[in-house]
């Protein structure tokens, strides 16, 4: 029995050890499976991150959020400054019930008061829309005028309305800029000048126009690289202004001048100015012009000047007080797909406070800059969803609202400010009105919504600098990495400190001068006494 009992105990122990081994093996297998699953998830996440980073590497960051750049040129996401309010197209306007013709490849927008004009280029007409709240309705469809030599339009590329209600149309196909009154009665045409400064072998093909308060017309013409054609109010051509400058490296000049044959030089690109892409006239009569033909290597050095502000002499007076000039994106892929390369501004609009918004066709983005050339925000992307564009061609504003026209989708998107965007504008407006306390407080509210916004630190610094709080202003400019304004604040702080401590300064300077003199005098007297005593001893 003892033997049987010992064998039974041994069997039980063996089965127990076997069961334990299986349990441990099962546990190990479960842990291994869990580990493998975790590893698989980690691999998927890693691959996703790598793909995301690869996507970001195409142009530096995601294309679907609002952002700015920090001091180190890195994109920083921020709250949205704008949101989509509505999208206007042929269906919402009811054009099919009016003429049965949908909008087709429009080329330009122009806003005056609550009226919005649309150049429906391929349909040879101008749409006059009226805005009520966020809804637009067709007020007039302008296909012709009365009393002109040619009363219909042919490929109208741009339109402008002056304060009296007169309409100017860049009638591209009819080779003229035509003017009519508010009742569509023809007034006059601005046509190809017979002046020798205009190449008579070229057709007169106006693409963009602006008109100043004196009625002078400025036309951007295709194939003309001498600048903007300027006409007086009576139709007299008075020359060109604002021609693009030519930027040529010394190496290019030497190679073309001394190492190419005459035939080779004829085949290569000439050193001639380029045409502007678009123009806009602000409330002060200055013309903003955009340029998309440049070497991308000239952008950050400010040689390219994709945005210019032209005075009456055609000189560029655009203020650029940021670390980099207003060029859109600071990072881009040099070669590759259609959405690579630097920003190229196809249009620009300017608000009454000198804040301007440029439309980038490369990636369908909007870039807002203040009067100092500092980037306020950037947003937008390419696509066929709400708020994205496939062929953005024109931008306009009504107050702070932005309107962007897509020539491929044949639609207009209305953007309105968010609380964040509106607070930025309110802070800027308060500063311009001289209400510095209010401006500083509004900029502090901006910081509550976006603590990583250098312009808010700069705005607070500028506001309190006007209140003679120089030391505090220096602190804010330091946070904004604004060396220029920091230097200004430091000079004023130093001047104030010197004036407050001039008594102590004079006392210290006087002591620094007189004490050494006194010590020297005492030492000389001591030496004279010693020498006198020695002379007595020798006697």
Task: Identify the pLDDT of residue 470.
Answer: 85
Reply yes or no on whether the pLDDT at 467 is more than 80.
Answer: yes
In this structure, are residues 245 and 273 in contact, taking their beta carbons and an 8 Å threshold?
A: yes
Which token pair is 348? 């620009």
* 538 lies in some domain: yes
In this structure, are residues 103 and 410 in contact, taking their beta carbons and an 8 Å threshold?
A: yes
* 20 lies in some domain: no
Final residue of a structural domain among 394, 414, 437: 437
* 99 lies in some domain: yes
Residues 238 and 323 in one domain: yes
Q: How high does pLDDT run on average in the chain?
A: 84
Can you give the length of the chain in residues?
539
Q: Alpha-carbon dihedral of residues 182, 185, 186, 187, nearest 10 degrees?
A: -60
Residues 235 and 284 in one domain: yes
Task: Identify the pLDDT of residue 267.
Answer: 54
* 66 lies in some domain: no
DSSP 128: E
Task: Identify the pLDDT of residue 19.
Answer: 45
Reply yes or no on whether the pLDDT at 525 is more than 90.
Answer: no
- Measure the CA–CA gap between 156 and 110, rounded to whole angstroms: 13
In this structure, are residues 238 and 231 in contact, taking their beta carbons and an 8 Å threshold?
A: yes
Across residues 95-115, what is the average pLDDT?
94
* 235 lies in some domain: yes
Reply yes or no on whether the pLDDT at 28 is more than 50.
Answer: no
Residues 86 and 96 in one domain: yes
Residues 290 and 359 in one domain: yes
**Which of 109-123, 187-201, 266-280, 323-337 shows the lowest per-residue confidence on average (mean pLDDT)?**
266-280
**Which of 178-182, 235-239, 254-258, 292-296 shows the lowest per-residue confidence on average (mean pLDDT)?**
254-258
The three-class DSSP label of residue 366 is strand
Reply yes or no on whether the pLDDT at 96 is more than 90.
Answer: no
The count of structural domains within the chain is 3
**What is the band of 482 on the pLDDT scale with cuts at 50, 70, 90?**
confident
**Which of 41-45, 100-104, 344-348, 398-402 shows the lowest per-residue confidence on average (mean pLDDT)?**
41-45
- Domain with 484 in it: 445-500
Task: Identify the pLDDT of residue 466.
Answer: 86
- Measure the CA–CA gap between 174 and 18, rounded to whole angstroms: 98
Task: Identify the pLDDT of residue 531.
Answer: 78
Provide the CATH number for the domain around residue 274. 2.120.10.30
Residues 235 and 290 in one domain: yes
Across residues 62-71, what is the average pLDDT?
75
Residues 387 and 268 in one domain: yes
Task: Identify the pLDDT of residue 250.
Answer: 53
Residues 461 and 420 in one domain: no
Task: Identify the pLDDT of residue 432.
Answer: 86
Angle at 324 between CA 288 and CA 469, to 5 degrees: 100
Reply yes or no on whether the pLDDT at 538 is more than 80.
Answer: no
Crossing angle for the helix pair 454-465 and 470-479, to the nearest 10 degrees: 170
**Which of 173-177, 256-260, 493-497 shows the lowest per-residue confidence on average (mean pLDDT)?**
256-260
Residues 430 and 306 in one domain: yes
Task: Identify the pLDDT of residue 537.
Answer: 65
Q: Which residue has the higher pLDDT, 321 or 62?
A: 321
* 53 lies in some domain: no
* 51 lies in some domain: no
Nearest to 189 by CA among 176, 171, 198: 176
Task: Identify the pLDDT of residue 514.
Answer: 80
Reply yes or no on whether the pLDDT at 508 is more than 80.
Answer: yes
Reply yes or no on whether the pLDDT at 76 is more than 70.
Answer: yes
Reply yes or no on whether the pLDDT at 252 is more than 80.
Answer: no
Buried b (16+ CB within 10 A) or exposed e, 243-268: bbeeeeeeeeeeebeeeeeeeeeeee
Reply yes or no on whether the pLDDT at 21 is more than 70.
Answer: no
* 41 lies in some domain: no
Residues 266 and 378 in one domain: yes
Which residues fall within 8 angstroms of residue 155, CB to CB, at 6 or more apart?
Answer: 121, 122, 124, 171, 172, 173
Q: Which residue has the higher pLDDT, 450 or 59?
A: 450
In this structure, are residues 78 and 68 in contact, taking their beta carbons and an 8 Å threshold?
A: yes
Residues 169 and 281 in one domain: yes
Across residues 43-64, what is the average pLDDT?
39
pTM attached to this predicted model: 0.79
Residues 409 and 461 in one domain: no
Residues 496 and 402 in one domain: no
Which token pair is 379? 């947003």
- Measure the CA–CA gap between 151 and 157, rounded to whole angstroms: 16
Angle at 502 between CA 499 and CA 504, to 5 degrees: 140
């Amino acid at each position: 029995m003892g033997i049987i009992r010992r064998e039974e105990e041994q069997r039980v122990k063996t089965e127990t050890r076997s069961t334990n081994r299986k349990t441990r093996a099962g546990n190990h297998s479960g842990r291994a499976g869990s580990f493998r699953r975790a590893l698989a998830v980690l691999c998927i996440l890693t691959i996703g991150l790598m793909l995301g980073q690869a996507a970001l590497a195409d142009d530096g960051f995601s294309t679907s959020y609002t952002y700015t750049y920090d001091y180190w040129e890195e994109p920083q996401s921020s709250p949205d400054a704008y949101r989509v309010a509505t999208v206007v197209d042929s269906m919402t306007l009811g054009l099919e019930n009016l003429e049965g013709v949908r909008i087709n490849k429009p080329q330009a927008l122009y806003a005056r008061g609550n009226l919005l004009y649309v150049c429906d280029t391929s349909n040879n007409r101008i749409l006059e829309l009226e805005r009520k709240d966020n809804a637009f309705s067709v007020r007039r469809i302008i296909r012709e005028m009365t009393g002109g030599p040619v009363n219909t339009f042919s490929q109208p590329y741009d339109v402008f309305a002056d304060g009296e209600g007169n309409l100017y149309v860049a009638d591209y196909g009819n080779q003229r800029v035509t003017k009519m009154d508010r009742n569509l009665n023809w007034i006059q045409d601005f046509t190809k000048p017979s002046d020798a400064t205009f190449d008579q072998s070229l057709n007169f093909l106006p693409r963009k126009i602006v008109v100043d308060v004196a009625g002078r017309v400025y036309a951007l013409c295709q194939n003309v690289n001498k600048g903007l054609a300027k006409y007086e109010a009576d139709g007299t051509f008075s020359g060109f202004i604002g021609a693009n400058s030519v930027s040529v490296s010394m190496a290019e000049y030497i190679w073309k001048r001394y190492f190419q044959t005459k035939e080779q030089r004829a085949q290569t690109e000439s050193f001639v100015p380029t045409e502007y892409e678009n123009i806009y006239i602000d409330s002060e009569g200055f013309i903003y012009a955009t340029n998309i033909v440049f070497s991308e290597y000239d952008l950050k050095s400010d040689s390219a000047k994709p945005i210019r502000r032209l005075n009456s002499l055609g000189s560029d007076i655009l203020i650029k007080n940021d670390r980099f000039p207003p060029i859109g994106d600071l990072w881009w892929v040099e070669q590759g797909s259609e959405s690579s390369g630097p920003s190229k501004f196809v249009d620009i609009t300017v608000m009454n406070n000198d804040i301007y918004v440029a439309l980038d066709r490369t990636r369908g983005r909007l870039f807002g800059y203040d009067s100092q050339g500092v980037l306020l925000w950037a947003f937008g992307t390419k696509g066929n969803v709400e708020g994205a564009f496939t062929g953005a061609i024109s931008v306009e504003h009504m107050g702070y609202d932005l309107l962007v026209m897509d020539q491929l989708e044949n639609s207009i998107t209305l953007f309105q400010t968010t609380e964040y965007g509106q607070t930025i504008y309110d802070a800027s407006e308060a500063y311009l009105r001289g209400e510095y306390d209010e401006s500083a407080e509004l900029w502090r509210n901006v910081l509550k919504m976006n603590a990583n916004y250098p312009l808010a630190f700069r705005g607070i610094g500028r506001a309190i600098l006007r209140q003679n709080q120089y030391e505090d202003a220096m602190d804010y400019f330091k946070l904004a990495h604004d060396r220029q304004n920091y230097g200004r604040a430091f000079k004023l702080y130093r001047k104030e400190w010197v004036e407050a401590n001039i008594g102590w300064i004079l006392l210290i300077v006087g002591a620094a001068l007189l004490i050494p003199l006194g010590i020297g005098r005492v030492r000389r007297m001591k030496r004279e006494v010693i020498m006198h005593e020695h002379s007595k001893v020798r006697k």
